[in-house]
Amino acid sequence: MRLLGNILWLILGGLFLSLGWAIVGLVLCVSIIGIPLGIQAFKMAELTLTPFGKTVVYRGGVGSTLANIVWVVVVGVWMALGYVGAGLLNCLTIIGIPFGIQSFKMAKLALWPFGADIVSL
């Protein structure tokens, strides 16, 4: 089921979203200050490429919490709202519910990416 979900996800736009995140990550990694942000964009690209069968595990720390607070204020809220909106639209149909659940998972990562690891189930 994971394979089928990931194939449909890629066909319906996941590949383009993942490429977009990867490009954003590359652009952010041009400067030294942007490297930590670029790494978070690469995390989003990884989860966006094949979200079925993966989960986000949070390990904390003072540094990641402070970085997440800055992230939330600057861009995290808007990115998370976009994913929540997409998830709600996907959940309007029974067929779209699994895709909506994946969008909600990405919203959580978009809101709080520092200190998060993506692991396969």
Tens digit of each residue's pLDDT (9 = 90 or more) over 64-118: 999 999 889 888 899 999 999 999 999 999 999 999 999 999 999 999 999 999 9
CA distances from 36 to 26, 39, 41, 63 (A): 11, 5, 9, 12
Interatomic CA distance for residues 84 and 58, integer angstroms: 20
* Predicted local confidence at residue 74, as pLDDT: 86
Which position has the token pair 């978070």?
40
Q: What is the pTM of this model?
A: 0.86
% of the chain residues with pLDDT over 70: 100
For 87, the enclosing helix (H) or strand (E) is helix 77-90
Looking at the DSSP bridge assignments, the partners of residue 54 are 120
Report yes or no: 104 and 87 within 8 Å, Cβ to Cβ: yes
* Predicted local confidence at residue 121, as pLDDT: 87
Backbone angles phi, psi at 54, to 5 degrees: -125, 155
* Predicted local confidence at residue 61, as pLDDT: 84
Backbone angles phi, psi at 53, to 5 degrees: 85, 10
Name residues whose C-beta falls within 8 Å of residue 85's C-beta, 6 or more positions apart in sequence.
none
* Predicted local confidence at residue 60, as pLDDT: 79
List the helix and strand counts (H, then E) for the chain. 6, 2
